[in-house]
Amino acid sequence: MERIRRGLLNAGRLLVYGPRRMGKSSAIAVAAEGARREGAVVVRADLSTVTTYLDITSRLLRSLYEETRSLRVRLEELVQGVAPKVTFAPGPPGGPPAITFGVERRSAGEEEQRRSLESVVERLGRLTEGLEVPGAVVLDEFQAVRGLGGEAAEWHLRDVIQRSGRLGFVCAGSQESLIHEMIGPQRAFYRMLEPVHIGPMPKGHFARWLEDRMGSA
């Protein structure tokens, strides 16, 4: 968790991966809370069910809204420069507003869709720079980006990350075989992300830890 926290605070590029139900999401959540306590703005999007880039954009915008509520940032400021045009409608009491784009999600062209992701990440970068605080993006089940355009979508995401020099990125995923392909030679994420593998606890490790705790009691 400490490696993840440092990555979020210091513009790291991390790949947190491993089988499902091994604590990846919990570890990232705890690390993100630690980073927030030090002033960071950490936004998150779960890519597991996205079907368009605008789905990613709207999830990041909702997360950004929640992250900046206590900072008294106006909605108009959050979406300044985001393309295509974004409008908000009142959401449930105490919840985030509904987000509407100035284009149909299914009919928007590929370039326009990709630009939406680029623009919201750029907005986060400008916002955190203006606030003089660290900023970071967590993309859960990031390997699902392949469903938006195969390897071309991978290279686009790499480009977005590379051009966001002052932001930290944590790409998390559970489909290990696919992730190993994505970080292999000739692929977009080759040697780009620092791997943090979260797997089963080594046999006997917990027992030794428990014995140590009991011995020091």
pLDDT digits (tens, 9 = 90+) for 56-97: 998 998 898 888 877 666 666 666 667 667 766 666 776 766
| 55-59, 131-135, 211-215: least confidently modelled range | 211-215
Per-residue confidence (pLDDT) for residue 66, from 0 to 100: 86
Contacts of residue 127, Cβ cutoff 8 Å, sequence gap at least 6: 41, 64, 68, 73, 77, 78, 135
Please state the pTM of the whole predicted model. 0.85
Element (H, E) at 64: helix 53-68
Instruction: Assign residue 53 the CATH number of its domain.
Output: 3.40.50.300
Contacts of residue 40, Cβ cutoff 8 Å, sequence gap at least 6: 8, 9, 32, 133, 134, 135, 136
98 pLDDT band (50/70/90 cuts)?
confident
215 pLDDT band (50/70/90 cuts)?
low
Per-residue confidence (pLDDT) for residue 193, from 0 to 100: 97
16 pLDDT band (50/70/90 cuts)?
very high
- Tally the domains of the chain: 1
Q: Is 61 in contact with 78 (CB distance < 8 Å)?
A: yes
211 pLDDT band (50/70/90 cuts)?
low
* Choice between 136 and 54, residue whose per-residue pLDDT is larger: 136
Q: Is 35 in contact with 5 (CB distance < 8 Å)?
A: yes
d(CA 18, CA 173): 7
Mean pLDDT (the chain, rounded): 86
Owning domain of residue 93: 2-216
DSSP letter for 144, please. Answer: G
- Angle of CA points 12, 16, 21, to nearest 5°: 150
Per-residue confidence (pLDDT) for residue 213, from 0 to 100: 56
Closest CA to 56 of 134, 141, 127: 141
Per-residue confidence (pLDDT) for residue 77, from 0 to 100: 67
- Can you tell me the mean pLDDT for 4-30? 93
133-190 pLDDT tens trace: 999 999 999 999 999 999 999 999 999 999 998 999 999 999 999 999 999 999 999 9
